[in-house]
Structure 1
Amino acid sequence: MVSVSMEQPEQTEQRLRRVLTAAEFVVHEGAWYFEESPLATPPLLTGRELAVVRDDEVWSALVPWAGPARDAEVFGLFSFHFAPDLDNSGFVGWLATALKRELGTGVFVVCGNNHARGGIFDYWGCPIDLLPAAVQIVTTIRSRPSQS
């Protein structure tokens, strides 16, 4: 369910800090990259794909990277499963802005829904070399007390 919050910026900040603190936060092992295939040849789902998306020319599957140095952008991943009773609207923009401000680079986010686990979940990707710094930023924000 999509929530609409009418609140002041300070209220949004405090709400999203509570959302972050309550979320299940997992840092995923390994490196990941986007493997492309032609639109006429969708990827065969084998279970290694974290996400598959397409545009009007190619399919792009987010899969583990295990090869030698290659001409591909490689990412580190972390994820959040959100508490079902907290309004997480605006979370992606809020945290992405904080990460951009601190890391100097953007992130990508793949969202999904798992009703059995409370609803929305997000996978976040950043350049693999920046993963430790991104995790530290998230951990620091989570450890700051929010004013209820």
Structure 2
Amino acid sequence: MTTATQPPPPSHPLLRLRLAPHSGMPRPIDGAWWPRSYDLLAELPRLLAGVPRAWGHITSATVNGATWAAAPGRMLVSNQVVRLHRTLTASAAHTIVLLAPGQGRWDLVVVPPDTTEEAAEQLMAAAAGGQA
């Protein structure tokens, strides 16, 4: 008798991030991120591990305070302190802003975790193409 077994799930789920092509012109949106939850302590380290190295060390992240679960004012990510800011402004309802001193600012659309795959793909493609 043989037993079919399922492979174990990956220990580090794939990062669902789509970035706009790099250009010399500033953009209002730099891409889109589709986290698996609104737990910033779990999701932010995955995001920061997946952003381009050219972005430098991200020292600050700003998210919508009404959307994300409560988090401390800072956290340690890869032995670096990242300050966490929460805002309630309407313009930040579905974005995360990442800052790296001397490198720049990156604004990403946050696709809600419970979005269907089809809808998320459309939102991410639009954001990466500059149509969000």
Structure 2 length-normalised TM: 0.32
- Higher normalized strand content (fraction of residues): 1
Q: Bigger relative contact order, structure 1 or 2, given CA contacts below 8 A and separation 6+? A: 2
Structure 1 length-normalised TM: 0.30
- Higher normalized helix content (fraction of residues): 1
